[in-house]
Amino acid sequence: MTVEDRTGSRTIGQLVADASSDVQGLVRSEIALAKAEVQQGVKTLGKGAGLLGAAGFVALIALIFLFHTMAQTIAIWLPQWASYLIVTGFLFLVAAVLALVGRSALRSAKPVPERAIAQAQETIVQAQQTLSEIIPQVPAPAPGPGAAAKPAPLPTPTAAQSAAAQSAAGQRATPGR
């Protein structure tokens, strides 16, 4: 079958409609494929995160047993209460050091997206320049012979005139003077 046989009896509108439906089908199948890939990846990530969480829990339990073992080892030379006190003091010291390091890391963090803001400002400037090139600056038309003239601006009072007006208003507002 040649191309002429397939398109001989069809109008251009029908051909465009067929092409449009073919493109839609292709896009839908690509989206379905992407969804399937993402779902598979999320399943794998979920399994990995669960296994890492379990490993962290087991490590925490092992760490507790390690500290207990350290206390029992120190108890060979000291009383048991003193050995647990030493291990507890050591743990508080480690916690304090970690807290100080974490606090300094938080203070040095800058959550402001400076690069994104700079990029947005550059984009705005470029858009303004592009618009000014596309839309030429048209001067305002001169007033015609029948147009009303623009009123003259009112004079602004000086600081001394403003102070005098305020004091006069204050004297009028206070009765009994």
Per-residue pLDDT tens over the stretch 155-168: 565 665 665 656 65
Task: Report how far apart, in Å, the C-alpha atoms of 72 and of each of 76, 85, 90, 118, 138 are.
Answer: 7, 11, 15, 59, 89
Strand, coil or helix: 109: coil
Condensed to tens digits (0 to 9), the pLDDT of residues 13-61 reads 888 788 788 878 887 888 888 888 888 888 888 888 999 999 999 999 9
> pLDDT band at residue 1, thresholds of 50, 70 and 90?
very low
Q: How confident is the model at residue 149 (pLDDT cuts 50, 70, 90)?
A: low
pTM: 0.44
User: Phi/psi of residue 8, each to 5°?
Assistant: -60, -40
Which tens digit of pLDDT belongs to each residue from 113-132?
Answer: 777 788 888 888 887 887 77
Dihedrals phi, psi of 23, to nearest 5 degrees: -65, -40
Q: Is the CB of residue 94 less than 8 Å from the CB of residue 85?
A: no
Residues 66 and 87 sit within 8 Å (Cβ to Cβ): no
Judged against a pLDDT cut of 90, whether residue 10 lies above it is answered with no
Better-scored residue on pLDDT, 91 or 6: 91
C-alpha dist (Å) from residue 55 to 48, 60, 69, 120, 176: 10, 9, 21, 43, 87
- Percentage of the chain modeled with pLDDT above 70: 71
Tokens representing 125 are 């400037």
